[in-house]
Amino acid sequence: MISVDLTSMIDVVFQLIIFFMFTSQFGELRRTEIDLPHQPGDEAEVRHEPAMIIDLTNDGTYLVESAQTSLIEIERLARAGVLGQDASDPFDVLIRPDRHASAVHLDRLLLRLSNTGVQRWKLATVNPGGGS
């Protein structure tokens, strides 16, 4: 019977596992795949998870936690978030829009959010080129 030397293969496999363990970003797995606007963004912006993430698809559908959500429901969620905020951790909203979607969908959403008292929001972008 031919004996196979498994030592080096196991070494390589373990190296791969360690690599993927370190590079995986489990926090963002729940985000829907969206063609975001291509801009470098604000590097000074602190990296912390926003209180509410709203995805906006090309056809004007709003998604919260990957589930289609009406503007009325978004307003209710945002109002609850604003009521529960404190000075050290203000309620902030991240909007992840499809770059081809019309501004009217963004405007409708932002008008609803402004009704609830949301004052700051962030637009998600990607920087395909890597430079600014």
Partner 1 sequence: MTRARALKSPRRSARLGALPLTSMIDVVFLLLIFFLVTANFAQDEHKLPATLQTEGGGVRSSDLQPQIVQIRLQGNEPIFVIGEVAVRDRQSLEALLKNLPKEPGIAIKSDPDVPISAIAAALQAARNAGFQKRSYVPSDGT
Stated as kind and residue range, the H or E segment containing 107 is helix 103-116
> CA angle, corner 89, sides to 84 and 95, nearest 5?
85
Q: Examine residue 89 and tell whether it contacts partner 1 (CB under 8 A).
A: no
Helix (H, G, I), strand (E, B) or coil at 98: coil
Q: With contacts defined by CB under 8 A, name the span among 63-71, 78-86, 97-105 that binds partner 1.
A: 97-105
Nearest distance in Å: CB 39, partner 1: 4
Q: Phi then psi for 131, rounded to 5 degrees?
A: -95, 180
Nearest distance in Å: CB 28, partner 1: 6
Residue 92, C-beta contacts closer than 8 angstroms, at least 6 positions apart: 50, 51, 52, 120, 121, 122
Q: Examine residue 2 and tell whether it contacts partner 1 (CB under 8 A).
A: no
Structure tokens at 74: 């978004």
Window 25-84: residues binding partner 1 (CB under 8 A): 25-26, 28-29, 33, 36-43, 45, 56
Q: Phi then psi for 4, rounded to 5 degrees?
A: -100, 135
Size of the site for partner 1 (CB under 8 A): 56
Residues that bind partner 1 (CB under 8 A): 3, 6, 10, 13-14, 16-17, 20-21, 23-26, 28-29, 33, 36-43, 45, 56, 94, 96-108, 110-111, 113-114, 118-128, 132
